[in-house]
Amino acid sequence: MPSTLIVCLSVSALLCQSGARGQSTETGAQASSRSTPVGRWKTVDDITGKMTSVVAIWEQSGKLYGRIDRLLDVDPRDPDPRCAHCEGELKDRPLIGLQILWDLQRAGERWSGGGILDPDNGKSYKCSIALQDGGKKLRVRGFIGFPLIGRTQYWLREE
């Protein structure tokens, strides 16, 4: 499905194994302190520049997690898009509610050590994120092996 969300969430900014990871929110996804990525973020397609979804990020046991909370440009022919390319328990799961970010730990000014899922191809990547522009932007970097081989997106904090 060529939805803008799928393209936006591709390679670098896409997230994780929702069934295998906890869905509870210890800190709450609604918190929006400018000093933490916890909160709601509009994903931006790095090719078209269009906002495609809202991802809720929360903290649980000192780690950050994120899931797709809302799609902004849903194809009327497919009002409930699913992760068609995902494998295992994620196969054909609805994109809304799909956990795509997991296990990110604070490392100085960024969070890393976790992963991100690309629902467009069903693959997971290593991930790091960092706040920019006074906490208004989130730099999301997905990569294979080394951070030099990957892709960066910038998400905007939902106000």
Taking 70 as the threshold, does the pLDDT of residue 101 lie above it?
A: yes
Please name which of 15, 10, 2 lies closest in space to residue 97, comparing C-alpha atoms.
15
Per residue, what are the HEC states of 90-105? HCCCECCCCEEEEEEE
Residue 6, token pair as written in the block: 């799928």
pLDDT for the residue 120? 81
CATH number of this structure's domain 4-157 = 2.40.128.520
- Note the pTM of the prediction, 2 decimals: 0.78
Contacts of 107 (CB under 8 A, 6+ apart): 113, 128
The DSSP 8-state label assigned to residue 5 in this structure reads H
Indicate the domain borders of the chain. Answer: 4-157
Percent over 90 (pLDDT), the chain: 66
Q: Band of the pLDDT at 2, cuts 50, 70, 90?
A: very low
| CA distances in angstroms from 38 to 20, 24, 26, 55, 133, listed in the order given | 21, 14, 11, 10, 15
